[in-house]
Amino acid sequence: MARVLMTGFAPFGGERVNPSWQAVSLVSARRDDVTAVELPCEFETSLPALRRAIEEHRPDLVVCTGQAGGRAEVTPERVAINLVDARIPDNAGAQPVDIPVVPDGPAAYFTTLPVKACVAAIRAAGVPAAVSHTAGTYVCNQVFYGLMHLLATEFPGVRGGFVHVPFSPEQVAASGKTAPSLGVDRIADALEAVADTALRVAEDVKVSGGAEH
């Protein structure tokens, strides 16, 4: 049986929960082939925690996830950039600006997940989804870039990528936000579709997933 590692983040930015961690925990509870690990929302400690998780669990597939408040869809990310530019401090109070994730690393890494096939599978499960071409410049992008660098340099043969998820209804209700949300159970359904598709599909489908801006 192929082994899948899924990660989500601890709550940040004053939130009490993070739907990425809630959802991957639910997937892990549903499936014997999935291990869920919570990453700290901290620039200094997130990548060491990710490395330890990969070393410990030796997965065949890694799907990291994070919260993208304001998005209405589950969005598999296509590209990670070698840049940290934090709009707000992380949970340790750090706010790095204009520094690389990996000094002297490539400018960017593309995911090795079949993102368009994953989007089609998520939609087939009845969950809204779209390809995203930006993971931002906060801890999510750092983990995405760091993951792809680790897989390229230290863990050959392991595939991986990053998926952003919307706010949960719990977050929206607690804060009074006017923002899109998606139930954690539906996010978990989407992440299961991502894992199943990535384990089955080696070459992505040739359909449009581009953006105009």
140 is catalytic: yes
Q: Residue 198 and residue 165: Cα distance in Å, rounded?
A: 18
Residue with the two structure tokens 């790095």: 96
DSSP string, 44-102: HHHHHHHHHHHHHH--SEEEEEEE-TT--SBEEB-EEES-B--SS--TTS----SB-SS
Tokens of 152: 């390229």
118 is catalytic: no
Q: Which helix (H) or strand (E) holds 34?
A: strand 34-39
Residues 42 and 92 sit within 8 Å (Cβ to Cβ):
yes
164 is catalytic: yes
Least Cα distance to 77 among 42, 51, 114 occurs for 114
- Which one from 42, 64, 73, 164 is the annotated catalytic residue? 164
- Which one from 41, 64, 118, 140 is the annotated catalytic residue? 140
Q: Residue 174 and residue 177: Cα distance in Å, rounded?
A: 8
Give the number of C-alpha atoms closer than 13 A to the C-alpha of residue 208, restricted to the C-beta side.
3
DSSP one-letter code for 33: T
Q: Please report, for residues 111, 121, 198, the alpha-carbon distance to residue 82 in angstroms, rounded to integers and kept in the order given.
A: 14, 29, 24
- Which one from 77, 118, 149, 192 is the annotated catalytic residue? 77
Active site residues: 77, 140, 164
